[in-house]
């Protein structure tokens, strides 16, 4: 079998019957996953769907220097012949989401699910998620609750639990709500979605390294697709390993920036103030009054605060225009689609007002900006009377 996309070695398969279709394809992208891959394959082969010949597993080896190929080949040779299949594809080093898209293009399952090498599932998990999608054709994606463990490679039933994934202090994911999804990703690490969605909405964003799945879920939600939580009797159907080496936990800053980028990419102005901006909305309402007749506004500070609240900045200064983001040590050329320029070059923007963007260092940043622009351009503080202005 030759993979549909280039750069792959010929993968070993449990069978070579390309005419076979499956209920579900599980996608496992691996890089230096030797320690977890055997347990992952055992976990997936214990799924009830696997025993019924309804599960395809695609392992994408993203140029790993490890023993993944050897582990998969040995497992295929020894596994029971149920009609389910395991496919191994080796590629050059690529992002997680490029690997997922590659597997999605090869998949023969009606539904797709991500199966991280270090996570585990209730044996009924994939069957129940697939059944939920079967029963609800209006739903694009189903997601289970997930318990948390620190017991690496422990089977689902034996692993010691140390919590349950959730948001806002709750144990367990909430029911689907579009605005809430834009605040925080609660789909979790083990969703199942319809393969046909990729024909309609395209691939995962391969340029992202940490939040490409969240970007895709927001893409679906913004288009009006519905999701469904599956937690029969309140039970968690999957197990998440709290692993400091995981992509999401090893680079929290990258995940934050990619998540903010995804939110702003897909939130629509017609929906009103973005949910992640609503708590700060009163400050921005006062900003409109302060800038008066200014028509070309620059924002000072190319940090997290600016990226998070850029939609609210744009709404609040309208009909004025955000012409640039000023920063003393700029990294990158744009922030949320707005060009970044070194602060000392502020005159090049032809701005007639500059807003200081910080909820922690506003006083210090205002003083710094005053040294640079002097009386030549009005400087506006967003929070002004707020007490949360002490720079750490």
CATH code of residue 351: 3.40.50.720
DSSP, collapsed to helix, strand or coil, labels residue 298 as strand
Which burial class, exposed, middle or buried, applies to 246 when counting CB atoms under 10 A from its CB (0-12, 13-18, 19+)? Answer: middle
Burial 57-86 (b: 16+ CB within 10 A, else e): bbbbbbebeeebbebbeebbeebeeebbbb
Strands 139-144 and 192-194: antiparallel
Q: Is the domain of 206 the same as that of 332?
A: no
Q: Is the domain of 166 the same as that of 312?
A: no
Q: Which two tokens stand for residue 16?
A: 């070579």
Q: Is the domain of 253 the same as that of 287?
A: no
Cα gap 311→301, rounded to integer Å: 15
Residue 9 lies in a domain: no
53 phi and psi angles, rounded to 5 deg: 75, 25
Centroid of chain to Cα 346: 34
For the CA atoms of 350, 354, 358, 364, what is the dihedral angle to 10 degrees? 110
Question: pLDDT value at position 387?
Answer: 37
At 44-88, the pLDDT tens digits run 999 999 999 999 999 999 889 999 999 999 999 999 899 999 999
Q: Is the domain of 284 the same as that of 262?
A: no
Which burial class, exposed, middle or buried, applies to 270 when counting CB atoms under 10 A from its CB (0-12, 13-18, 19+)? Answer: exposed
Q: Is the domain of 277 the same as that of 262?
A: no
Q: Is the domain of 56 the same as that of 192?
A: yes
Domain count, the chain: 2
- State the average pLDDT over residues 300-305: 88
Q: Is the domain of 118 the same as that of 180?
A: yes
Q: Is the domain of 302 the same as that of 190?
A: no
Range name among 94-103, 108-117, 142-151, 238-247 with the lowest pLDDT average: 238-247
Residue 215 lies in a domain: yes
Residue 17 lies in a domain: no
Q: Is the domain of 180 the same as that of 279?
A: no
Q: Which two tokens stand for residue 106?
A: 């090869």
Last residue of a domain, one of 266, 297, 330: 266
Q: State which residues form the domain around 314.
A: 273-381
User: What element of type H or E holds 78?
Assistant: helix 68-78
Is the pLDDT reported for residue 392 higher than 80? Answer: no
Cα gap 64→69, rounded to integer Å: 9
Residue 6 lies in a domain: no
- State the average pLDDT over residues 343-362: 91
Last residue of a domain, one of 219, 250, 266: 266
Per-residue DSSP letter, 189: S
Is the pLDDT reported for residue 285 higher than 60? Answer: yes
- State the average pLDDT over residues 348-352: 94
Q: Is the domain of 258 the same as that of 288?
A: no
- State the average pLDDT over residues 19-36: 92
CATH number for the domain that contains residue 194: 3.90.550.10
Going by C-alpha positions, the residue among 370, 386, 368 that lies closest to residue 378 is 370
- State the average pLDDT over residues 159-188: 93
Q: Which two tokens stand for residue 78?
A: 């020894």
pTM: 0.80
Residue 86 lies in a domain: yes
Residue 1 lies in a domain: no
Cα gap 26→254, rounded to integer Å: 26
Contacts with 71 (C-beta within 8 Å, 6 or more apart), sequence order: 34, 37, 38, 41
Q: Which residue has the higher pLDDT, 64 or 6?
A: 64
Residue 283 lies in a domain: yes
Q: Is the domain of 153 the same as that of 69?
A: yes
Last residue of a domain, one of 241, 266, 291: 266
Q: Is the domain of 141 the same as that of 85?
A: yes
């Amino acid at each position: 079998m030759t993979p549909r996309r280039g750069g792959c070695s010929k993968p070993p398969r449990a069978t070579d019957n390309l005419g076979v279709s499956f209920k579900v394809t599980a996608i496992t992208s691996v890089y230096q996953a030797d320690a977890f891959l055997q347990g992952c394959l055992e976990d997936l082969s214990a799924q009830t769907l696997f025993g019924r010949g309804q599960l395809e597993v695609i392992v994408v080896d993203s140029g790993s220097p490890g023993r993944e190929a050897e582990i998969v080949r040995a497992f295929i040779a020894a596994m029971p012949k149920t009609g389910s299949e395991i496919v191994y594809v080796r590629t050059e080093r690529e992002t997680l989401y490029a690997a997922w898209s590659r597997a999605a293009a090869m998949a023969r399952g009606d539904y797709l699910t991500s199966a991280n090498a270090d996570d585990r599932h209730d044996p009924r998990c994939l069957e129940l998620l697939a059944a939920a999608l079967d029963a609800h054709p209006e739903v694009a994606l189903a997601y289970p609750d997930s318990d948390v463990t620190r017991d690496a490679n422990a089977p689902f039933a034996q692993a010691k639990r140390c919590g349950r994934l959730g948001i806002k202090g709750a144990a367990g994911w909430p029911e689907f709500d579009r605005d809430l999804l834009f605040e925080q990703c609660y789909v979790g690490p083990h969703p199942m979605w319809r393969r046909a969605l990729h024909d309609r909405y395209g691939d995962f964003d391969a340029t992202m390294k940490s939040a490409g799945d969240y970007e895709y879920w927001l893409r679906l939600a913004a288009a009006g697709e519905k999701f469904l939580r599956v937690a029969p009797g309140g039970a968690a159907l999957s197990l998440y390993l709290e692993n400091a080496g995981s992509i999401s936990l090893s680079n929290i800053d990258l995940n934050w920036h990619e998540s903010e980028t995804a939110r702003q990419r897909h939130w629509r102005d017609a929906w009103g103030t973005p949910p992640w901006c609503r708590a700060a909305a009163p400050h921005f309402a006062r900003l409109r009054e302060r800038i008066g007749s200014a028509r070309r506004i620059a924002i000072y500070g190319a940090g997290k605060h600016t990226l998070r609240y850029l939609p609210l900045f744009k709404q609040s200064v309208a009909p004025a225009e955000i012409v640039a983001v000023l920063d003393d040590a700029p990294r990158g050329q744009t922030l949320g689609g707005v060009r970044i320029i070194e602060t000392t070059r502020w005159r090049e923007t032809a701005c007639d007002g500059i807003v200081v963007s910080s909820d922690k260092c506003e006083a210090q940043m205002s003083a710094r900006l005053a040294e640079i622009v002097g009386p030549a351009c009005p400087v506006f503080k967003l929070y002004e009377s707020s007490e949360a202005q002490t720079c750490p």
